[in-house]
């Protein structure tokens, strides 16, 4: 059930990310236009989605969150995009206040790690989704810089999809593996942002009330594996395609 109650805290930390992401959208497009050869495909799948949506994205570079947001249309109904971050990345070595405020203002919320409890780890993200928000998640768990292959996904995305009845949109960023800073300035990076067909909420994949917790974990991991299969299909379609120009050139 969607939670339609909003506190002052909810309003502030929703409006602020929306303002920042909207303001940065045009500069982001300019940067991507001049420093990347970028193609976007499948964004029409996102256009008419309603309710909570989880964007399941592979993670090969620090550019990934920017690429996902920049690939969406201006004033997309999926804004503001909220993000899942690892707690260690959120509380950066330069101090807690500055990165915590900056990241949260952008829509980033940390998952609590090391506690082996999905409900506690993703308590904030669950609440955001139940309010109908969009959540960008990198379910591989960390950055894999040297490969385009989709790594096994963590069960947390299965948990969130089940308890919030969210649609999951598989997204593959292809071409950023082994990206180097000099590639940016040489304008030699060709990247594709590919949105797959939305995966609707599937009650049959979710554990029922009263079953053993260990089986719940298995069910969430099985759900994550289905999502991974969809992401792998996108990668396979790219690798088997003889002409990348068939994708929609955005810039």
Going through the chain in order, the beta strands assigned E by DSSP cover 36-41, 53-57, 81-86, 108-111, 134-137, 167-174, 189-195
Q: Which domain holds residue 125?
A: 8-28+37-242
**What DSSP character marks residue 245?**
G
132 domain residue, yes or no: yes
Going across the sheet that includes 134-137, the strands are 36-41, 189-195, 167-174, 53-57, 134-137, 81-86, 108-111
248 domain residue, yes or no: no
Over residues 121-135, the mean pLDDT reads 95
Please list the residues that pair with 191 across neighbouring strands. 38
Is 142:90 a contact under the CB 8 Å cutoff?
A: no
Over residues 17-26, the mean pLDDT reads 91
Over residues 68-90, the mean pLDDT reads 86
- 154-177 pLDDT, tens digit per residue, is 999 999 999 999 999 999 999 887
Higher pLDDT among residues 2 and 63, named by residue: 63
Distance (Å, whole) CA 109 – CA 171: 20
Q: What is the pTM of this model?
A: 0.87
pLDDT bin (cut points 50, 70, 90) of residue 9 is confident
84 domain residue, yes or no: yes
Higher pLDDT among residues 233 and 209, named by residue: 233
Domain count, the chain: 1
**Sequence-separated (6 or more) residues with CB below 8 Å from residue 112:** 87, 120, 121, 123
Distance (Å, whole) CA 112 – CA 89: 11
CATH number at residue 179: 3.40.1130.10
Q: What are phi and psi of 201, to 5 degrees?
A: -55, 130
Q: What are phi and psi of 177, to 5 degrees?
A: -60, 135
1 domain residue, yes or no: no
Is the confidence at residue 139, as pLDDT, over 70?
Answer: yes
Over residues 30-38, the mean pLDDT reads 81
186 domain residue, yes or no: yes
pLDDT bin (cut points 50, 70, 90) of residue 248 is very low
20 domain residue, yes or no: yes
Cβ neighbours, 10 Å, residue 243? 6
């Amino acid at each position: 059930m969607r939670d339609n109650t909003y506190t002052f805290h909810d309003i502030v930390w929703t409006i602020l990310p929306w303002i920042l992401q909207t303001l940065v959208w045009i500069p982001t497009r300019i940067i991507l236009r001049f420093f990347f050869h970028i193609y976007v495909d499948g964004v029409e799948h996102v256009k008419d989605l309603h309710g909570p949506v989880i964007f399941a994205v592979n993670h090969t570079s620090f550019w990934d969150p920017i690429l996902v947001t920049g690939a969406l249309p201006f004033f997309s109904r999926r804004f503001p995009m909220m993000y899942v971050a690892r707690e260690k990345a959120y509380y950066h070595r330069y101090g807690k206040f500055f990165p915590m405020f900056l990241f949260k203002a952008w829509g980033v919320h940390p998952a609590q790690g090391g506690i082996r409890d999905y409900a506690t780890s993703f308590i904030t993200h669950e609440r955001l989704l139940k309010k109908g928000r969009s959540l960008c998640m990198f379910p591989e768990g960390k950055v894999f810089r040297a490969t385009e292959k989709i790594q096994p996904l963590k069960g947390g995305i299965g948990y969130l999809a089940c308890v919030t009845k969210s649609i999951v949109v598989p997204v593959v960023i292809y071409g950023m593996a082994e990206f180097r800073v000099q590639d940016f300035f040489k304008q030699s990076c060709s990247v594709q942002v590919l949105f797959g067909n939305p995966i609707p909420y599937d009650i049959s994949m979710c554990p029922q009330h009263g079953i053993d917790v260990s089986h719940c974990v298995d069910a969430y991991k099985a759900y994550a594996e289905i999502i991974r299969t969809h992401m792998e299909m996108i990668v396979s379609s790219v690798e088997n395609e003889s002409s990348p120009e068939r994708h929609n050139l955005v810039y």
